[in-house]
Amino acid sequence: MGLEYVRISPGFEKYMPRDYVDLVKFGQFGREVDVMQLGQFKELVEEHPMCAGCYMAYFIRIFYAALPKPEDTIVLGTAGCARLALSQAAVPFIYGNYGDTNAVASGLKRALSIRFPDKDKDVVVIAGDGGLMDIGFGMTMHSWFRGEKFTTIMVDNEVYGNTGGQESGMSPKGVQLKMAPLGKKFDKINAVQLAIDAGCVYVAKISPTNPKKIAKVVRRAIFAARKFGPTFIHAYTSCNIEYSIPTREVLADARKREKEDFKFFEWMTDEVKEYLEEIERKEKERKKQEVKS
């Protein structure tokens, strides 16, 4: 059904909330938007209670704008900052228990495949470094080992932001945080290498400084997951509160990290590469046609 469920039944437009009507009329359902046109269409997520200057909120905004098929997408999250925005988007959101995202997504994706074998239903996990690499580590890894066909996006702020700034496995070594009063004693976990070794078919690491690039990576991860297996994006989404980054310097910080340990990295299997090239070639052709007509 997909698109059909977001449509408003004839005659009901005037009773539906304005916000909902706008979503259907001027939103992303049933059409692809260009992230560079943010502000010119009704976005899937608008209001959220995340902190001013939160880079994670920015990433999430771009993520939603990049969705190839929002009317057939389900997002899963867990405890942490991200879910504050995710739960308010116009895309079904599942908030389970602590760190359970990749297990819940496994069951969900399998159920949808049983019930709708001929449809693409995109399942995307967006969880933090604590959720995916600490408390949910086993479930994250095993969903990859099993080859589950959904996308995992780690919004890595290098700290437990929502519980008040505790050390996570993704915090850099030496950083002094709550629960690490003498500074973190071990290195940041190499999540990207783990993802490759565990069987992800598409893996990317990104410091989200370029919205076009973020959108491209998100779409690639979702397309590859539909057909081939697990995909993973490791995104640096700084916590300006716990790391005391002045709001106006958040982007500069992301750029700095991009030059250091968050250099853009992308890895995929040969068949994924071939598949994505084919999709992107067709997209280009279609856009050319559109411009012509």
Partner 1 sequence: MTERKPEQRVVDPEYLILEAPRERKFITGSQAFAEAIKRANVDIAIAYPITPQSETMHLVGDLYAQGYVKDYYRAEEEYGAMSAIAGAVRGGARAFSATSGPGLLRGLEAIVSWPGHRRPAVLGVMTRVVNAPLSIQPDNVEISYLLNCGMIVLHAENQQDVFDFTLAGFVISEKVDVYIPVAVCTEGFFVTHAKGYVDLPPEDMKLPPRDPYKAPVPPTDCEIPPARIQRDAPVQKSNFMSYLIHAVWQQEIWSANNRARKWIKHYLGGLVEVVNPDAEVFIVASGCAAAQGREAQRYAEMEGLNVGLVKVKSIRPFPAQEIREVLKKAKAVIVPEHNIVGWLAKEVKAVIPNSGIVVDGPRVYGGMTLPVELIMEKIYEAFGVKKAKKTVV
CB 79 within 8 A of CB 162: yes
Please report, as a single letter, which amino acid is at residue 286: R
Smallest gap from Cβ 63 to partner 1, in A, equals: 17
Query: What's the min distance (Å) between Cβ of 145 and partner 1?
Result: 8
List the end-to-end C-alpha distance of the chain, in Å, as a whole number. 30
CB of 29 to partner 1, least distance (A): 7
User: Please, what is the minimum distance in Å from the beta carbon of residue 33 to partner 1?
Assistant: 16
Q: Closest CB to partner 1 among 94 and 180?
A: 94
Q: What are the two backbone dihedrals, phi and then psi, of residue 122, each rounded to the nearest 5 degrees?
A: -85, 125
Residue pair 54/80 in contact (Cβ under 8 Å)? The answer is no
Q: Which is closer to partner 1, CB of 146 or CB of 227?
A: 146
Which residue, 105 or 214, has its beta carbon nearer to partner 1? 105
User: Smallest distance from the beta carbon of 242 to partner 1, in angstroms?
Assistant: 20
Which positions lie near partner 1, rule CB under 8 A?
Answer: 1-2, 5-6, 19-20, 23-24, 29, 47, 49, 71-74, 76, 83-84, 87-94, 96-98, 100, 103-116, 121, 138-139, 141-142, 146
Q: Which residues contact 281 (CB under 8 A, 6 or more apart)?
A: none
Where residue 199 falls (left for φ over 0; alpha for ψ -120 to 50; beta otherwise) is left
CB nearer partner 1, residue 121 or residue 205: 121
Residue type, 39: G
The helix/strand/coil state of 160 is strand
Q: What is the dihedral of CA 166, 171, 175, 181, to 10 degrees?
A: 30
Q: In terms of CB distance, is 13 or 19 closer to partner 1? A: 19
DSSP summary character for residue 15: T
| Residue 207 CB, nearest approach to partner 1 (Å) | 28
Cβ closest to partner 1, residue 20 vs residue 41? 20
